[in-house]
Chain A
């Protein structure tokens, strides 16, 4: 059963660090919101009605034609998972934190490589998501588009000629599309240029958020840049705008790193190797500290100050050091302190040979 594999294995395709620009653009995600016609949005549904929606989606995703086009998709009820396993899906960025509130009436659809996931009965009946390594928004949209076309063959979507796809929240209406790129921007952070960049983003209809979406803090210099407007622009326009801006931010980050390499190499090198030393030797590590150190290490790798540590490992560790995954591996509940000790041990083991 793929879902068990998904929660047992910390690895996901997007972590492979093999996409374009993956040194700075960790991952690209496109998500579209869809609702079934004639059925109230999830927040108004009682449990029986919510199950009807899940049933309709199950029939649609198990369609043989769809499998041929878009790969085998499997639907699982969130109630079939333990709380820790549900959290692991959030940590792997396959579902949103909102999906695990009131999980009794919700479901998730996954393709076995975890590139495609569909949240059922989150804020909208369906949220179809595609997650890829590096800067690949066009590719992600193409995949989503295929899945969406396939699903639409058996489901009637709530759609209006004027307003497009109708969504529970008016901020998503139209294309229902939210495209985002997760960027690692430690260089701009070091030279205190980040605030300026992030402010400018707001002025061109985009928004920057922390690692886990809405309302979360930027952990480990990671920022999600996404579109805000969903109505009045085509999907292709949204994606090409976002890609253009992201490319600019990437080139600014690169220029900053070059300047740092030229003028402040000792300073950066010191930070990178301190981070390396702590990760290799520490006995207590909070996830915030670990994320910060990973960020410095990643910068060192990308600036060729340090070698032998694959970016893929860092991507995976970002998930493996989260509380849920630690508890899963340990097989027991742990206090925050016990987790910090366990986390440090896990990281020491990974870094032993590096």
Chain B
């Protein structure tokens, strides 16, 4: 069947509309369908983000387990959510799922974000060591700049600050 609108391409979109009991059928090719797409009627099936993720995760787990039931697979030792449910929903169960399913989650994160390392904000109270590490990183950059400027007085100061922070980090405490 050819498209009713352009008469050139094969009709692949078949639409049935019932308005006040009157039924009408339209057969269109994909190109025309997209052009006249009526408000509110999406031809393209909406793919929910979570389905996509579930697909990606499935891939990480080696495709064959595609149709596994929600209750199968390892369970997170903290929240008890089974792998099967994560695959189905595309959502993890709790913060501890990240380390628990690490071997699957990390490749997924690399695929989504192109990275597996957070470089942004660190919470003040719960961040502890991460915050120190971030601060040290920033100071080291400043140090490099100071050295290249040949501002050795500031470089010395920065070096001392870095030592101080590294010391408190090694002691496991906070500043």
Which residues of A, 122-177, contact B by the 8 Å Cβ criterion? 123, 145, 148-149, 152-153, 156-166, 168-171, 173-175, 177
- What chain A residues lie within 8 Å of B53 (beta carbons)? 169-171
- The answer to whether B105 and A170 touch across the interface, beta carbons within 8 angstroms, is yes
Residue of A nearest to B52 (CB): A171
Q: Which residues of B contact A145 (CB under 8 A)?
A: 121
Instruction: Write out the residue numbers on chain B whose beta carbons fall within 8 Å of the beta carbon of A148.
Output: 121
Query: Which B residues touch A238, using CB under 8 A?
Result: 120
Interface size class of B (residues with CB under 8 A): 35 or more
Say whether B99 faces chain A, with CB atoms less than 8 Å apart.
Answer: yes
Taking CB atoms, residues of chain A closer than 8 Å to B108 are 170
Interface presence of A235 (CB below 8 A): yes
Cβ–Cβ contact B112 & A168, under 8 A: no
Q: Which residues of A contact B39 (CB under 8 A)?
A: 217, 288
A191 contacts the other chain (CB 8 A): no
Residues of B within 8 A of A230 (CB): 113
Asked whether B127 lies within 8 Å of A232 as measured between CB atoms, the reply is no
A164-B118, A175-B121 known; A37 vs B95 contact (CB < 8 Å): yes
Contact B91 A169 (CB under 8 A): yes
Nearest CB on A from B79, distance (A): 4
Interface residues of A in 256-313 (CB under 8 A from B): 288
Q: Which of A39-47, A64-72, A81-89 forms part of the interface with chain B? A: A39-47
From A158, A160, A174, A288, B120 is in contact (CB under 8 Å) with A174
Per-residue interface assignment for chain A, residues 225 to 241, with 1 indicating a CB less than 8 Å from any chain B CB and 0 otherwise? 00001111111001000
Asked if B79 and A44 sit within 8 Å, CB to CB, the answer is yes
Q: CA–CA, A217 to B114, complex, Å? A: 28
Q: Is A215 an interface residue (CB 8 A)?
A: yes
Note all chain A residues with C-beta closer than 8 A to B126. Answer: 37, 152, 156-157, 159
B122 partner residues in chain A, CB cutoff 8 A: 159
When distances are taken between beta carbons in the complex, the residues of chain B under 8 Å from A22 are: none
Q: Is B119 an interface residue (CB 8 A)?
A: yes
In the complex, the answer to whether B90 meets A169 with C-beta atoms within 8 Å is yes
CB neighbours of B94 from chain A (8 A): 38-41, 44, 158
Known contacts A40-B93, A44-B94, A170-B112; A162 and B127 CB within 8 A of each other: no
B49 within 8 A of A: yes
* Complex: A110 Cα to B48 Cα, angstroms: 28
CA distance A38 to B118 in the complex (A): 20
- Closest B residue to A289 by CB, please name it: B39
Q: Is the CB of B118 within 8 A of A174?
A: yes
Chain B minimum-CB-distance residue to A151: B123
Query: How many angstroms between the C-alpha atoms of A351 and B173 in the bound complex?
Result: 65
Is B95 within 8 A of A158, CB to CB? Answer: yes
Q: Is B21 interfacial (CB-CB < 8 Å)?
A: no
A35 close to B (CB within 8 Å)? yes
Q: Is the CB of B99 within 8 A of A160?
A: yes
Complex Cα distance, B79 from A38, in Å, reads 9
Number of interface residues of A (CB under 8 A): 45
B29 is an interface residue with CB less than 8 A from chain A:
no
Q: How distant is the Cα of A231 from the Cα of B42 in the complex, in angstroms? A: 32
Asked if A9 is at the interface (CB within 8 A of a chain B CB), the reply is no
- A210-228 Cβ-contact flags toward B at 8 Å (1 or 0): 0000110100000000000
Nearest B residue to A234, CB-CB: B120
Q: A232 contacts B113, CB within 8 Å?
A: yes
Q: Cβ of A173: which chain B residues have Cβ within 8 Å of it? A: 98, 109, 113, 118
A147 to B89, CA, bound (A): 31
Residues of B within 8 A of A161 (CB): 118, 129-130, 133
B54 to chain A, nearest CB (A): 11
- CB-nearest residue of chain A relative to B105? A170
Q: Which residues of A contact B115 (CB under 8 A)?
A: 174, 229, 231-233
User: Which of chain A's residues have a CB closer than 8 A to the CB of B31?
Assistant: none
Most buried by B among A149, A159, A234: A159
| A128 → B minimal CB distance (Å) | 12
Q: Which 8 A-B pairs have the closest CB atoms?
A: A232-B115, A164-B118, A158-B95, A231-B113, A175-B120, A166-B95, A161-B130, A40-B79
A-B contact pairs, 27 of them (CB 8 A): A38-B94, A40-B78, A41-B94, A43-B89, A152-B123, A157-B123, A161-B129, A162-B118, A169-B50, A170-B92, A170-B112, A171-B53, A173-B98, A175-B121, A177-B120, A214-B49, A215-B46, A215-B48, A217-B39, A217-B40, A231-B112, A231-B118, A232-B114, A232-B117, A232-B118, A234-B119, A234-B121
**Interface contacts beyond A159-B126, A163-B118, A173-B109: sample of 7 additional A-B pairs, CB < 8 Å, sorted by A:** A149-B124, A160-B98, A163-B117, A169-B49, A214-B49, A232-B113, A238-B120
- Chain B residues with CB under 8 Å of chain A are 39-40, 42, 46, 48-50, 53, 78-79, 81, 89-95, 98-99, 105, 108-109, 112-127, 129-130, 133
